Amino acid sequence: MTWPAIITPRLQRSKGKVLVSGKIARFVIAFVGLTTASAAQEVPTFKLGARVQGWFESVGRTAPDGSTAKDFIIRRGYVYVTGTFPEKISLFGHIAGDRIGQGGLDNPSLGLGTGVAVRDLWIAWEPTPAFRVQMGRMYIPFTRALGTESAFMLLGVDMPSSQGGTRGTSFYASKVGRDDGAVFWGTPLAGHLQYRFGVMHGVKGAADPSDSLRLVGRLALSFLDSETTWFNRGTYLGTKKVLAVAVAVDREGGLAPSGVKPFDSRSWTTDAFFDHPIGRGALTVEGSFTGVNGLTQPMPSAGLHPGDDAHIGYAQAGYLLPPATGKGRLQLYGRLERVDGAGDAGTTAPAVGANYFVRGHDMKVTLEYNQLEQKSTPTVRVLTFQAQVGF
């Protein structure tokens, strides 16, 4: 046998060993990679961040002598944490202070005026985008402005006054816009449908002698781009095309505030939201109308009391101007709000303002002028300057 005849089979066998060894190596690498990825998925992850809104407010007729009050306050100071765990479990929490330093306000148990408190805190199971369950303290799934939009991503400097904005009070029972309970929600149909249904505390204490539960639900339909997150934006700054309409109901029975005949509180609302690029700018439009049969708490700015009926509506619009020289973008906006009740009760609240975005909603300044006009009292004029930072 010649040397080539002897060497060739050995080389072939050697190549076979190399091929087999290569297959084994690739298998080992793939196995280690899958094991590492699986182990990584089992490790909880956390993220910390903070958001702050600093305000200067000039509020007419609210100083001790009846003149204009001038306040420097921390409108919102939030530290947040998000966490993800195995089995599709997550958590979210806000430790917050609202209106810190506002004259005449002191409710540290809710983090108002002085002190800090838990603003949001829930644990969630999210097996699929179409079905999620959250338990804890969170937004009440009723209105868009105070039920879905982040307070740090609004079109205006604050929510409408009937939902706790500026110096107003919310028309429904809440713990600074939140309530304790469970919410079932999801975004089926590729995110174009969003439902939220909650069983929550509602009114508690002597005003709810039967200790009833609050039932609240919201259904929203998006015709263009979807909105799939818990916190929506009040303006998308030209990054999305959104047309969404929604309806919602809120009910709690057996209420009996002091001095009021027992009643059941029933409310409904409908709202619409439009946000779309126009040329190099962007247009945002939002509006809502709400009917309340039996208010659960007073609305002093509108002259309304627990048990009263009310009709509440607002419309607002803003335009993001095309980019100019420099780093920022300018957005102009206006809002008109109306609250009506029995007799002479009622308030009109027009507002105009401007946002200057240095780095989107993470760094912006806002200037807003608004009025609270009521038939039986002099007009209150409010000027607000806000500086906002988030990371």
Quick check: 133 and 124 in contact, CB under 8 A? yes
Query: Structure tokens of 129?
Result: 């985008």
Quick check: 336 and 289 in contact, CB under 8 A? no
227-264 pLDDT tens trace: 999 999 999 999 999 999 999 999 999 999 988 899 99
Q: Do the domain assignments include residue 76?
A: yes
Quick check: 198 and 249 in contact, CB under 8 A? no
d(CA 377, CA 118): 36
Query: Structure tokens of 108?
Result: 């540290």
Residue pLDDT tens, the chain, 391 long: 443 343 333 434 444 444 444 555 565 455 445 444 544 557 899 999 999 999 999 999 888 888 999 999 999 999 999 999 999 999 999 999 999 998 888 898 899 998 899 999 999 999 999 999 999 999 999 999 999 999 999 999 999 999 988 888 899 999 999 999 999 999 999 999 999 999 999 998 989 999 999 999 999 999 999 999 999 999 999 999 999 999 999 999 999 998 889 999 999 999 999 999 999 999 999 999 999 999 998 888 788 889 999 999 999 999 999 987 678 999 999 999 999 987 666 889 999 999 999 999 999 999 999 998 887 788 899 999 999 999 9
The partner residues of 377 in beta bridges, in order of sequence, read 374
Q: What does each C-alpha distance from 120 to 69, 170, 205, 218 come to in angstroms?
A: 31, 17, 21, 19
Domain count for the chain: 1
Q: Do the domain assignments include residue 28?
A: no
CATH of the domain at 212: 2.40.160.10
Quote the Cα angle for 263-268-272, to 5°: 160
Distance of CA 324 to the CA centre of its chain: 30
Q: Do the domain assignments include residue 7?
A: no
Quote the domain boundaries for residue 159.
49-390
Stated pTM of the model: 0.86
d(CA 186, CA 129): 6
d(CA 329, CA 365): 11
Q: Do the domain assignments include residue 39?
A: no
d(CA 190, CA 226): 8
Query: Structure tokens of 279?
Result: 């040329």
Q: Do the domain assignments include residue 285?
A: yes
Q: Do the domain assignments include residue 89?
A: yes
Query: Structure tokens of 288?
Result: 């809502």
Q: What does each C-alpha distance from 377 to 1, 63, 168, 300, 382 come to in angstroms?
A: 117, 16, 15, 11, 15
Biggest CA pair distance of the chain: 119
3-state SS class at 152? coil
Q: Do the domain assignments include residue 8?
A: no
**Phi, psi for residue 20 in degrees, rounded to 5:** -65, -45
d(CA 249, CA 268): 4
d(CA 31, CA 385): 58
Quick check: 199 and 213 in contact, CB under 8 A? yes
d(CA 162, CA 141): 16
Amino acid symbol at 390: G
d(CA 176, CA 236): 25
127-165 pLDDT tens trace: 999 999 999 999 999 999 999 999 999 999 999 999 988
* Residue 30, pLDDT score: 52
Query: Structure tokens of 172?
Result: 């429904």
Q: Do the domain assignments include residue 124?
A: yes
